[in-house]
Amino acid sequence: QVQLVESGGGLVQPGGSLRLSCAASGSSFSSYRMGWYRQAPGKQRELVATITSGDTTNYVTSVKGRFTISRDNGKNTVYLQMNSLKPEDTAVYYCNALTPGVFRWGQGTQVTVSS
């Protein structure tokens, strides 16, 4: 089972931006609908953005207009551009296919929004 590797997180002030990346080495996910999830301390993992193989995107209401999901199938990479970040966006961010069991969950990347 291929594992995904997320990167690009960090500490940012409210209103700032970050770009997250998710890569799968040795496997192509071009045919899968992919999603970015996040898990805040004490909360369940939440699906925040999805992208189909045909580049149709969907977002949870709380991030709509601020986050943009995209993919580069040639690089086996999915991105999440996050703008106008808020303290409530603080969480560990993960990516995975929406079909369960296709890829192993990665370690995630921590995003902290704080002044």
Q: Are the C-beta atoms of residues 39 and 92 closer than 8 Å to each other? A: yes
Q: Mean pLDDT across the chain, nearest whole number? A: 94
* Alpha-carbon span 6 to 109, nearest angstrom: 6
Is the pLDDT at 29 greater than 90? The verdict is: no
Tens-digit pLDDT profile for residues 49-58: 999 999 999 9
Tens-digit pLDDT profile for residues 67-111: 999 999 889 999 999 999 999 999 999 999 999 888 989 999 999
